[in-house]
Amino acid sequence: MIVGIGVDLVDIPRFERTIARTPRLLTRLFALAERPLAARSLAARYAAKEALIKALGGSDGVHWTEMEITTDAAGKPWFSLTGSTAEVVAGRGIRTLHLSMSHDAGLAIAYVIADGEPAPAEPAPAEPASASAPAEPASASEPVEPRT
């Protein structure tokens, strides 16, 4: 079951200018093994990490250097997650992360699909019912339940 999806697009020349202006970003954003790569490959990896954060629904507990993108013998990219980032992913019921990256014409793109079983949601605290309270309007995505 798809638990989340994320996509990100990076302008490679802009990414290169940012890294040139602020070189310490390399150590903040990339694992040691990623840092020597060409700018276009780093931009694609940055896009992959952003796409993963989007697939997770947020960055709580996620750290940039704990998300390393490596490739297998055939060149297929995959995430190597460590620390609290690995815990966050497992805690959200994600068993598999599918990753696709590309760069061309000055742009880098990455797409992530998080696959697994969603972690059970914690129940919201019950609110006391009031007989005289008017019914609240529901959003377009919520079913309307009658009050008793």
> Does residue 38 contact residue 45 with C-beta atoms inside 8 Å?
no
Which residues fall in the annotated binding site? 8, 50
Instruction: Give, as one character, the DSSP assignment of residue 55.
Output: H
**Locus of tokens 């704990």:** 66
> Does residue 100 contact residue 108 with C-beta atoms inside 8 Å?
no
Which residues fall in the annotated binding site for Mg(2+)? 8, 50
Between CA 42 and CA 24 the distance in angstroms is: 14
Instruction: Give, as one character, the DSSP assignment of residue 79.
Output: E
